[in-house]
Structure 1
């Protein structure tokens, strides 16, 4: 009886490989070729000999996988294959951190050289040129695969580093910086410089990554360490390595968008950077009240505007750094300064009100400058001194102010 039809056509027979003998010899030689490649690396690559056994083991697996992938590629050169997965998939992701791209290139080159030197032994008679040409093409493909693996690893590290950096910057700006933030900063290469300040301004439109990279370039040129990020519409830079916040801000100002740029005071370390960040943020908020403010400007130069805008730290700083020293220096300085400011900065008018010689007023005003660092004869400084006097008197009348 005839056999019933199944309805399924017979599977097409696989065409014979045009170089069956060479393919078979290549399969048989894979193990010895891998051993020769590892021995050659041990002989010629000092960094390989110095590596821990675990990493050398992974490199050996990569070499074996590379030769096996070539064998499979020689079997089916037209089939779509992911060489990077076949070769580097055997090694853990951490290997790209332990082995540099240059070292990986040396490893691949050594393996290819071993395979090339064995062509005459592995290839069947007459197939030498075919195998050599296939190896040359495969070497090109493995070079591209190596570049792809390290590019992907770099992108992954870059994304993770950007996330860490954003966490550190946000912690400093929000006042939540702790030892964890310091540890994250250290992982990003922050070497705990002695002088740290925070610079704030408006972030430009466009790709924030380009802005961050521009800040880093400016920092490298100025020999500064920076942690930076774009938070909303603000560009935040934590800079370390210089004891002059205004000079720091000037060296980094290029990538900022038009508008005020404020530098907070210098603090000793990253944990204290919250104080600098809060001062810079308060200054940025109050900067609109000083239309002729320089760019960049110090947060301490905005103390009167910050105090009027209800910044408690600015109020306390004005009282403690201006009013209290004048109070301790004697009632005459406070009285003279008050009268001088009320008399439209007139020496003669103040002298008449105080019943003293103008030279006495002049001397006392110089003492005010020595004690506070602010000159009553300068319009901007006079404004700051006036606000400090008002806040000091309020504080004396109500200790809660």
Structure 2
């Protein structure tokens, strides 16, 4: 078989490698000086990290010599593969290094090493051998660049898997109402920066999409809306913890399209991650009871499903309806409860209610407006009327207000 005349003979490569080996000390010294001068971030590293980075650069120079020598012993002159180069150049450092400097900074280090080697070629080898060594440097730089990308890719995969497990633990602690001193620090490790305004959004997990894609989409949408997000899949439900929100419904709208088909509910805004279990509990209860209101908007507040939650056995919803709806209407005169009960009995007829109570119809209208002002629920709206009726029943059953025989 004919050989390419441009390909160097193995004995030439070995001879050039020996010449470069004798100059490796000077090249390493020059590389250190270049790092101090041209890379401001290098001076900001700790002594230990500077040692790691220096070791990588020096190893890169020394291993170019070894790579060139190894090329002389391979049939095609190709030298070691990328995996072998990664092991030789990075040694025991990749795990530590990947967390200290960025991939961009690592590429800059590789470029610096190659520049230093190239700058010493003309002074180290004969002029007729210089083009051969320059070609070898370019080939070596390409191989090391690919090896570096592989190292960082493996580190990113490992970090991604760890982050996913940590995120699942944080969300699970919120759902289980088990906040502890480590909850916020774990969330901070995942990029959580919010100190208040937390709401939990819950709905069906999407089909035909991987969890990682969904989670990344949720985080990106939340960041666009000025919020933080933690995600987890619990069974067939996707749970999103939003931080830095003031309006729970507005926050839920920013991520609602990442959920699967069916209802999406959001709990109330709480003061921080430590109290987020309150929002999670309300969202979970509302999601379970949401089948009772198939026409509900998407997303819907857990507060808007109080009636369904109470009918499903949620004690917190029952207490809320009694304390936040029934008792405020049961003032000293109790005219609002009396009027509301009579209005329901009359089928929502103002005139019939007025006749039953022996008052003017305008008095009935005035009292109904008071009901809306006190509770935030408008009796003339079907959904609000349903919730008010459930609140009246639960209030009477609670025994926390005197019972009027007329009711």
- Calculate the TM-score normalised by the size of structure 2: 0.90
**More displaced 10-residue stretch of structure 1: 361-370 or 267-276:** 361-370
Alignment partner of 1:85 is 2:87: yes
Q: Which residue does the alignment assign to 2:405? A: none
**More displaced 10-residue stretch of structure 1: 180-189 or 260-269:** 180-189
Stretches of 4+ aligned residues off by more than 6 angstroms: none
C-alpha distance 308-31 of structure 1, shift in aligned 2 (>3 A): same
Q: Which residue does the alignment assign to 1:4? A: none
* 1:270-309 correspondence runs (5 A): 270-309=273-312
- How far residue 395 of structure 1 moved from its aligned partner, in angstroms, is 0.6
Q: Which residue does the alignment assign to 1:384? A: 387
Q: Give the distance between the partners of 1:337 and 1:258, measured in 2 at CA.
A: 38
Q: Give the distance between the partners of 1:278 and 1:24, measured in 2 at CA.
A: 71
Q: Which residue does the alignment assign to 1:56? A: 50
CA contact (8 A) 1:286 1:306 kept: yes
Structure 2 residue corresponding to 1:19, chosen from 10, 13, 19: 13
C-alpha distance 181-58 of structure 1, shift in aligned 2 (>3 A): same
Q: Which residue does the alignment assign to 2:164? A: 162
- How far residue 50 of structure 1 moved from its aligned partner, in angstroms, is 2.6
Q: Which residue does the alignment assign to 1:177? A: 179
Alignment partner of 1:133 is 2:135: yes
* 1:39-78 correspondence runs (5 A): 39-77=33-71, 78=79
- How far residue 194 of structure 1 moved from its aligned partner, in angstroms, is 2.3
Aligned residue for 1:393, secondary structure, equals: helix
CA contact (8 A) 1:263 1:296 kept: yes
- How far residue 119 of structure 1 moved from its aligned partner, in angstroms, is 0.6
Q: Give the distance between the partners of 1:373 and 1:29, measured in 2 at CA.
A: 83
C-alpha distance 79-294 of structure 1, shift in aligned 2 (>3 A): closer
- How far residue 92 of structure 1 moved from its aligned partner, in angstroms, is 5.4
* Number of residue equivalences: 385
Aligned residue for 1:18, secondary structure, equals: helix
Q: Which residue does the alignment assign to 1:95? A: 97
**More displaced 10-residue stretch of structure 1: 128-137 or 45-54:** 45-54
CA contact (8 A) 2:194 2:228 kept: no
- How far residue 336 of structure 1 moved from its aligned partner, in angstroms, is 1.0
C-alpha distance 20-379 of structure 1, shift in aligned 2 (>3 A): closer
* 1:243-322 correspondence runs (5 A): 243-322=246-325
Q: Which residue does the alignment assign to 1:190? A: 192
Deviations 1:26-70 (A, max 9, x none): 222222211111111112222112322221111111112111211
Aligned residue for 2:330, secondary structure, equals: helix
- What is the alpha-carbon root mean square deviation over aligned residues? 1.9
- How far residue 125 of structure 1 moved from its aligned partner, in angstroms, is 5.5
- How far residue 254 of structure 1 moved from its aligned partner, in angstroms, is 1.0
CA contact (8 A) 2:196 2:273 kept: no
C-alpha distance 183-348 of structure 1, shift in aligned 2 (>3 A): same
Alignment partner of 1:38 is 2:38: no
- How far residue 151 of structure 1 moved from its aligned partner, in angstroms, is 1.8
Q: Which residue does the alignment assign to 1:219? A: 222
Q: Give the distance between the partners of 1:212 and 1:193, measured in 2 at CA.
A: 21
Q: Give the distance between the partners of 1:41 and 1:392, measured in 2 at CA.
A: 75
Q: Give the distance between the partners of 1:32 and 1:210, measured in 2 at CA.
A: 49
CA contact (8 A) 1:65 1:90 kept: no
- How far residue 329 of structure 1 moved from its aligned partner, in angstroms, is 5.4
- Calculate the TM-score normalised by the size of structure 1: 0.92
C-alpha distance 357-62 of structure 1, shift in aligned 2 (>3 A): same
Deviations 1:210-266 (A, max 9, x none): 111221222122222111122221111111222211111111111111110001111
C-alpha distance 91-79 of structure 1, shift in aligned 2 (>3 A): closer
- How far residue 179 of structure 1 moved from its aligned partner, in angstroms, is 2.2
Aligned residue for 1:227, secondary structure, equals: strand
Q: Give the distance between the partners of 1:210 and 1:153, measured in 2 at CA.
A: 19
C-alpha distance 300-329 of structure 1, shift in aligned 2 (>3 A): farther
Q: Which residue does the alignment assign to 1:360? A: 363
Q: Which residue does the alignment assign to 1:149? A: 151
- How far residue 391 of structure 1 moved from its aligned partner, in angstroms, is 0.5
Task: Point out where structure 1 has 5 or more consecutive residues left out of the alignment.
Answer: 1-14
